[in-house]
Structure 1
Amino acid sequence: MQRVGRAQIRLAPLAAFDALAALRDPAWLHDDERRRLDAMASPLRRRQFLAGHWLLRELAAEHHGGDAAAWLLTRDDHGAPRLQAPTGIDAVLHASISHSSDWVAVAIAGEAIGLDIETGAKPRDLPSLAEFLFSPEECAALVQVDDARRAAHFYLHWTLKEAWGKRQGTGLRPQRTRRQTPHEVIAGQATMQSWQRPDRLLVMALAGSRGLRADVSGWPGVDAPRYWDVVETG
C-alpha cells in the first residue's frame, strides 16, 4: 500500500511579525534570499517576503527540530524551494510560500507541493482574467454565480490553478490552464484541497500527490477543506 503523505500549513497576519527581532536583523537569510530582498523596493513586499521566509523556518523547526534560524532555504535546479535541516537533523523538505495583502501562508512536506492564498484585496478585472486563464467550463460556471459570490468563486478557482502550477513547477500557463478544470472529489482521490472563509474573502489551496493530508494552523475559522482533482482536455 502506498504511504499517504502529510503536509504542514501555517497562516499568520503580517502584523504578527512587526515586533519580531529576527526580522529586524535577518542574518538567517541565504545569499539568494538576501539578493531577492535587496531587489525589492516595495515596503509591503519586503514585509511579506521576510514574514513568509521566517514563518517557513519556524514551521520546519517546530515539526522537525533545530533552531529556526539554522534552517537553510535554497532552490533546486528547477527553482523549487527546498529547506535543508541544521546539522544533526536528517531532513530536506519541499516548501511553498504565498502571501496576499496582510496574510502570509507557508507549507512544508516531504514531497512536491504548491500553496496559494488570496484575499482579493488587489483590484482585478475578474471576467477578463477568467477568460484568459480558466477553462470554458469554469468561465460558464462563473457567469452563473450571483454577484455577491462571484469574487469568492473566482478566487477559489484561481488559487487551485496557482497551487497546481506551483506544485508542477510550471506556474500559471494559460495555454494549459484553459484546458484544466478542477472537479470536487472525495478526500482519497484528491490532488488538491481548498479552504474558504464564509464571512470574508480569504481563500487558500494546496496541491500535492493524490490523497495528501494537510494539517493547518493559524486558519481563522473551523471550516473543513474541500477536495479536488484536475480534469484536463485537449
Structure 2
Amino acid sequence: MGYTETVAHVWCRPVADDAAARDGVRPTDVEWTLSDGELARRDTLRRAQDRALYTAAWGLVRQSLSAAEPQVRPDEWRFLRSSLGRPEVHHPARARSLRFNLSHTEGMVACVVTRDARCGVDVERPGRVLPLHRLTRSVLSAREQREFGLAPPGRRQELFFRYWTLKEAYLKAIGTGIRFPMTDCEFDVGMGRPVLRSLAAGPQHSGYTFRQWPVQHGGLLAVAVQGDPGRTWEDDVAVRVHLP
C-alpha cells in the first residue's frame, strides 16, 4: 500500500530482547538493512542498550519507507543530512518526496512517514522518576504551568508527558529542535485532539495538526504533521497508526 500526500503513517514498536514478545523489533533481525556508515555510528555507542535502540530505530525507518515504496528494499535507502541536521531521503531520487522522522526511548522506537508534508514524532515512557517541578519551568508555558499546578498530583506526570511529547514532535517537524524554547509554544491537551494554542515562532510554522496515543508499557506517542492552515484535520491529513 502506497502513501499519499494526505496520509501520515505512524509506526511504533517495542525493542525486543531474546525473551521479549514476538511483536518486538529485534535488532538482529533488522541489522542487515543498515548501511556501513550507520553500523559504524552504531558501534561507537558505549552501552549495549543504546546500540540496540539505534539499530532498531534505523531498521524501523527503512522498513517504514519500504512500506511507502515497496519496490525499494529496506537496505537500498540512502540518506543525507539537511542544513538543520535532519536526515532526508537521498536515494532513490524518485522517492525524495518522502519525509520521515524517528524517535526512540528505553525499549521502544517510533517512526512517522509522509509524502511532502513535514512531520515529527516523539515517544516516551513516563515510568522514570523526574524532577517535574524543575522541568516544568523549562518546558511549559506560564499557562501550562498553571494547569499543571491545578492538576491532581496523581495526574501530573501524565500531563507533563502529554505536553512534552507534543512539543518534541512539533519542534522536530518544524526543524528547529531544541534551538526553539519549548516554553514558547503552548498546547491545549484538554478534551479531544491536542491543539496548538499559541506559538512565538511565527505564522510560517502554523498549520500543523497533532495526534497522541498511549502505547505499550505506559508509553506515550505524539505526532505532528504539516497541513493546510485553512483546512481541518479531517479535510487535510489522515493518520494510519501501526501499533503492536
Could you give the per-residue CA deviations for residues 181-228 of structure 1, whole angstroms, max 9, x where no partner exists?
A: 11367799962323233996321111121343221101x5xxxxxxxx
Contact 2:12 2:110 survives alignment (8 Å): yes
Shift of 1:84: 3.8
1: CA distance, partners of 2:152 / 2:113: 36
1: CA distance, partners of 2:27 / 2:169: 30
- 5+ residue gaps, structure 1: 221-234
1: CA distance, partners of 2:129 / 2:81: 31
2:120 partner amino acid: G
- Does residue 197 of structure 1 match 2:198? no
- 5+ residue gaps, structure 2: 17-23, 197-206, 228-232
Contact 2:195 2:209 survives alignment (8 Å): no
- Please tell me the root mean square deviation across aligned C-alpha atoms, in Å: 2.8
1:90 to 91, 94, 98: 94
Could you give the per-residue CA deviations for residues 80-101 of structure 1, whole angstroms, max 9, x where no partner exists?
A: 1212454xx7211211111111
2: CA distance, partners of 1:85 / 1:64: 12
2:154 partner amino acid: A
The 3 A distance-change label for structure 1 pair 128 and 50 is: same
SS at match of 2:130: coil
- Which residue matches 1:226? none
1:57 partner amino acid: R
- Which residue matches 2:238? 213
2: CA distance, partners of 1:54 / 1:143: 40
The 3 A distance-change label for structure 1 pair 27 and 193 is: closer
The aligned length equals 211
Shift of 1:71: 1.5
Shift of 1:138: 0.6
Higher mean C-alpha displacement, 181-190 vs 164-173 = 181-190
Structure 1 stretches of 4+ with a deviation exceeding 6 A read 185-190
- Which residue matches 1:107? 112
- Which residue matches 1:17? 25
What is the 5 A alignment of 1:65-144? 65=70, 66-86=72-92, 90-92=94-96, 93-110=98-115, 111-144=117-150
The 3 A distance-change label for structure 1 pair 147 and 159 is: same
TM-score when normalising by structure 2: 0.76
2: CA distance, partners of 1:144 / 1:188: 20
2: CA distance, partners of 1:109 / 1:152: 28
The 3 A distance-change label for structure 1 pair 72 and 214 is: same
Contact 1:55 1:106 survives alignment (8 Å): yes
Shift of 1:36: 2.8
Contact 2:34 2:58 survives alignment (8 Å): no
The 3 A distance-change label for structure 1 pair 48 and 169 is: same
Shift of 1:34: 3.5
Shift of 1:172: 2.5
- Which residue matches 2:201? none
SS at match of 1:57: helix
2: CA distance, partners of 1:61 / 1:78: 25
Contact 2:12 2:111 survives alignment (8 Å): yes
2: CA distance, partners of 1:199 / 1:109: 24
Contact 2:27 2:56 survives alignment (8 Å): no
